[in-house]
Structure 1
Amino acid sequence: MSEGPQPGEVWDYPYLWARQADHGETEGRKPRPCAVAVLVRLQSGQTAILFLAITSQRPASDRRAVEVPETERRRAGLSTDQPLWIILDEHNADRLETSFNLHPEARIGAFSPRYFTQIKQAFLTAMKQRHSRSVRRDDQ
C-alpha cells in the first residue's frame, strides 16, 4: 500500500496492545478505531505510521490517555453513545507501503485540526518522556 492514512484521521486497524505483545501475540485480535498520530519518512524512503488506540474502556489512573469530546467523536465518525479515550502511553508502528493491516476502505473519519494538534502534542510529550511504548507491526 503506497497511499493511505494521514495524521488526524481515524482508521479501523487491528491494533496489538502491548500486553498482548508481551504474551507472544503478533496480531491484533480485532480491528478497532485508531487515530493516525504521526507519519515519518524513513531513510529507506518508506513511511512509518504510528497508530493510537481508541477505546471505550476507561483507562486506569496510571495510564496516559485523553477523552474524546462528543463533538470530535461525531466529527470522526465514532460512536457518540459512550465515552471514548485515545491511549497515549503505547502505540503501534507500521510501514505504510508494506502493511498487511491497512485497507483503503478502513478509513472512518478525521478529527478537527485543532483537536488533533492537542492529541499530537500530548503524544509527542509522552514519547519524549519515554512514556509511550512502541509495538512494532512492520515485521522489521
Structure 2
Amino acid sequence: MSFEDIQTASVIRYPYLWAREAASGETEGRKSRPVVVGVRLVRAGGDLILFFPITTKQPEPGRFAVEVPDIEKRRGGLDAALRLWIIFDEYNTDIVGQSFYLEPDPP
C-alpha cells in the first residue's frame, strides 16, 4: 500500500490503541487490527488521519458503533463470515510521512 492508497473510507491494518488501554498507561496498540480511515486531512508537513477501529466484539450498550454490512466487508477485504462493528466513539490519529506505523510498500 502506498501513502496515496490511505484515503477516507479505506480499510487498513494499524496497531490501534484502545482508550481503555491508554487510560491504563499503555502507549501502543497491542496488535495490528483492521481500522477504517475516517478522514484524511491534507496539511503541510503531513496529512492527518483519523482511524476508527473495527472489532469482532459486540459493542457494549451505549457505545456509538455500527455493524458492518456484508457488502462493505467484501469491499474492505474483511472476513464476511464474521460479525464486525466499527466503533465511532473513540479514534486514533497519525500523520502520514511521520508515523512509525504507516509505511509505504517498497517499489
The TM-score with structure 1 as length reference comes to 0.69
Deviation at 1:28, TM superposition (A): 0.4
Deviation at 1:95, TM superposition (A): 0.7
In structure 1, the partner of 2:53 is 53
In structure 2, the partner of 1:15 is 16
In structure 2, the partner of 1:90 is 90
Q: Distance in 2 between matches of 1:48 and 1:102?
A: 12
- Quick one: percent identity of the two aligned structures? 50
**1:20–1:46 Cα change, 3 Å:** same
What secondary structure does 1:104 align onto?
coil
In structure 2, the partner of 1:41 is 42
* CA RMSD in angstroms, aligned pairs only: 1.6
Q: Distance in 2 between matches of 1:85 and 1:102?
A: 23
Cα shift readout 1:19-73 (whole Å, capped 9, x = no counterpart): 101111111000000000111133x432110000000000011100011001110
| Residue pair 2:67, 2:83 contacting (<8 A) in 1 also | yes
Deviation at 1:94, TM superposition (A): 0.6
**Higher helix proportion (structure 1 or 2):** 1
| Residue pair 1:3, 1:96 contacting (<8 A) in 2 also | no
Q: Distance in 2 between matches of 1:57 and 1:71?
A: 19
Q: Distance in 2 between matches of 1:55 and 1:15?
A: 11
What secondary structure does 1:74 align onto?
helix
Q: Distance in 2 between matches of 1:3 and 1:98?
A: 14
Which of structure 1's runs of 4+ aligned residues deviate more than 2 A? 1-4
**1:85–1:33 Cα change, 3 Å:** same
Q: Distance in 1 between matches of 2:93 and 2:23?
A: 16
Q: Distance in 1 between matches of 2:45 and 2:100?
A: 18
Deviation at 1:4, TM superposition (A): 4.7
Q: Distance in 1 between matches of 2:31 and 2:89?
A: 20
